[in-house]
Structure 1
Amino acid sequence: MRLGIQLGYSGEGFAAAVDEVVEFEEAGAELVVVPEAYSFDAVSQLGFLAARTRDMQLASGVMQLYTRTPTLLAMTAAGLDYVSGGRFNLGLGASGPQVIEGFHGVRYDAPLARTRETVEICRRVWRREPLTFDGAHYTIPLPGDHPKPLKIINRPVRPRIPILLAAMGPRNVALAAETADGWQALWLDPGSADRVFGDALADGRSRRDPALPPLDVSVPVPFAVGDPTPELLGGHRAQLALYLGGMGSRNRNFSNDLVRRYGYAEQATRVQDLFLSGHRSEAAAAVPAPLVAATSLVGTPDTIRRRLADFAKAGVTTLLASPLAPTRTERVKDVATLRDLLRAV
């Protein structure tokens, strides 16, 4: 199982966070993932990280396909792969209507079809084919007297940059298993993974191109070596409340839908009701304790070793740790411990 680092949303202290990523790389981390959502863009930060790291892989988590044309996504990925010496992975996702329509003013329609077409267009660009595409949602070039098929000027470092699709719903997960190099999961409960995602993964894999590598399954987890105290897990509980309550509307919230499929329907409704009515601390307190524990990785080395075996059994191949220890020295030490535990698993 590969060890990665999941950064938080951009804000103050980015330079210090990058200094820490450099130490995480020395401690054995192999990948760093930069989120985007409706924060600062991921691209500028990934370029900065490309200059500060040596060997670790870089990934977006995720770039939103509605906010950039498929060709621009391909150009951006090729550019990041170039400045990093072939270390970039294009984490791609549809996000949700609240962000895409509410923040970007772009209609959120046909996410599955648009994702499929975007993946194909990106791969054609990286192969330096004169770009033509006649899809249901993207037509390249547009009809007329002036446009003509073009190919990217520069020769990409790699003709095939890994694409990692973020997905929660069954059809999106199946699409990732069919077309992508990797699946970026969120809030994965390893004990429920087969029941909730097994059929979708099997469906997608049944149509998977044999030329693709085995599907990489990456999962972000808040992580620490130590007792799972309320103080240590308070941030994770608050983030779960944010996603269950506020990352989407009452009628369309993908995280809330996922937690319902895990079996927490009543609790998911309560968290959402509290969050949307402005009672955020109460919403965080209402997040079920078993869900907090299942979607984090905090405990003694023996406990973590057993949990890692559970993640491996659920098909996870990349663990994206968000270290929680209070000091930088402790966080780097914990990452080194996790590296050793992963090697044992």
Structure 2
Amino acid sequence: MSVDIHLPVSAQPSVDTLVDLAQRAEELDYGHVWLPETWGRDAVTALTAMAQGTDEVGLGPSIWNVYSRSPALVGQTAATLQEVSDGRFRVGLGPSGPAVVEGWHGSDFDRPLRRTRESIEIIKAVLAGEQVNYDGDVFTLGGFRLRCDPPEDPPGVDAAGMGPKAVELSGRFADGWHATMFTPDGLRERLDDLRRGADLGDRDPEDVRTTLSLTCCALPDGERARDLARQHAAFYVGGMGTYYRDSLARQGYEERAHDIAAAWGSGDKERATELVSDELLDDLGAAGTPERAREELQKFRDVDGLDRVAVSFPRGADLDQVRETMDALAP
């Protein structure tokens, strides 16, 4: 079991700050540093700087959405970042959701699973150095080929997903699956979907790398750490469309998920946060004093079939709290 870092989704003071965090992760022996791409700095530029500022730690986006860049461009970018990082790069992509794709990028959130599958297939063909002639339901390409040498060791192409069919798709077509906001039991259920997808693709499930992004906050003031994690959970369930709410509902928290979303939607964010009970908080992350956070983290590390846990951070955590958490949960 490797422990990774999923850098903060919140805005950081500078690209240099992201580089500093990646360097700190490398010093603490984290296996991989994942960078989210939301509405701040683009991941390509930041990952390039991070690659030039580190030597050994793995790097990748989690995630690039499959709507704002063409798969051919993603393949080119992945090949370039694999070169810049001396073979330490890995692709993380997924459909994201309507709030991001339609609200921020102005694209129709159309056929997300089909688009993800075709993107994976095209990106892998590009990275293999093949001439890409592809006739799909979403994409049609003719004659594309890299004008530079393809990577000697092509980077893996992972896919994110929350629902049964999305996870099955990862098992069938991708090199890995990125999970987020899962309880241990919910994660086990989706891992069954991953294995089914691998079987459909005539693949060994052991060859599909599984990574869980887990909200963590480990501070001497344990209650402050839990408050930050609670606020984070309420925001995602209540404020980020329906995907996180629906995923939580599938994991045995249907009534609570809808209550949180209703409170948030009515503007009562304080009530939405209060509805994230201690039980739910512990089922979704590792927060509290360093000792407690390490104990909660272990519950997820013990899930059979999970290869990596990526320590993620509440959106309200400041840089000092991020660094304290990184230090406390370092492998």
Determine whether 1:269 maps to 2:270.
no
Measure how far apart 1:17 and its partner are: 4.1
Q: 2-side partners of 1:246 and 1:153: how far apart?
A: 43
1:1-345 equivalence runs, <5 A: 1-9=1-9, 11-14=11-14, 15-141=16-142, 149-158=143-152, 160-194=154-188, 196-210=189-203, 214-225=207-218, 229-248=222-241, 253-298=242-287, 301=291, 304=294, 307-308=297-298, 310-322=300-312, 326=320, 330-336=324-330, 339=331
Measure how far apart 1:305 and its partner are: 5.1
Measure how far apart 1:72 and its partner are: 0.6
Listed one character per residue, the Cα deviations across residues 204-249 of structure 1 (whole Å, up to 9, x for unaligned) are: 121234488622111122335567833112222122111111111x
Measure how far apart 1:312 and its partner are: 2.9
How many aligned residue pairs are there? 325
Measure how far apart 1:158 and its partner are: 3.5
Measure how far apart 1:96 and its partner are: 0.7
In structure 1, the gaps of 5 or more residues are 142-148, 340-345
Listed one character per residue, the Cα deviations across residues 40-85 of structure 1 (whole Å, up to 9, x for unaligned) are: 3211111111111110000101001111111011111111111111
Measure how far apart 1:280 and its partner are: 1.6
Q: 1-side partners of 2:179 and 2:225: how far apart?
A: 23
Q: Quick check: which has more Rg, 1 or 2?
A: 1
- Same amino acid, percent of matched pairs: 29
Q: 2-side partners of 1:332 and 1:35: how far apart?
A: 17
Q: 2-side partners of 1:321 and 1:234: how far apart?
A: 17
Amino acid aligned to 1:318: R
Measure how far apart 1:332 and its partner are: 5.0
Q: 2-side partners of 1:161 and 1:89: how far apart?
A: 5
Structure 1 35/261 Cα, relative in aligned 2: closer, same or farther at 3 Å?
same
Measure how far apart 1:28 and its partner are: 0.9
Q: 2-side partners of 1:211 and 1:125: how far apart?
A: 23
Amino acid aligned to 1:60: P
Measure how far apart 1:159 and its partner are: 5.1
Structure 1 303/278 Cα, relative in aligned 2: closer, same or farther at 3 Å?
closer
Instruction: Please provide the CA RMSD for this pair.
Output: 2.4
Amino acid aligned to 1:320: A
Structure 1 332/273 Cα, relative in aligned 2: closer, same or farther at 3 Å?
closer
Structure 1 307/38 Cα, relative in aligned 2: closer, same or farther at 3 Å?
closer
Name whichever of 8-17 and 182-191 sits farther off. Answer: 8-17
Q: Normalised by the size of structure 1, how large is the TM-score?
A: 0.86
Contact 2:290/2:328 (<8 A) preserved: no
Amino acid aligned to 1:274: A
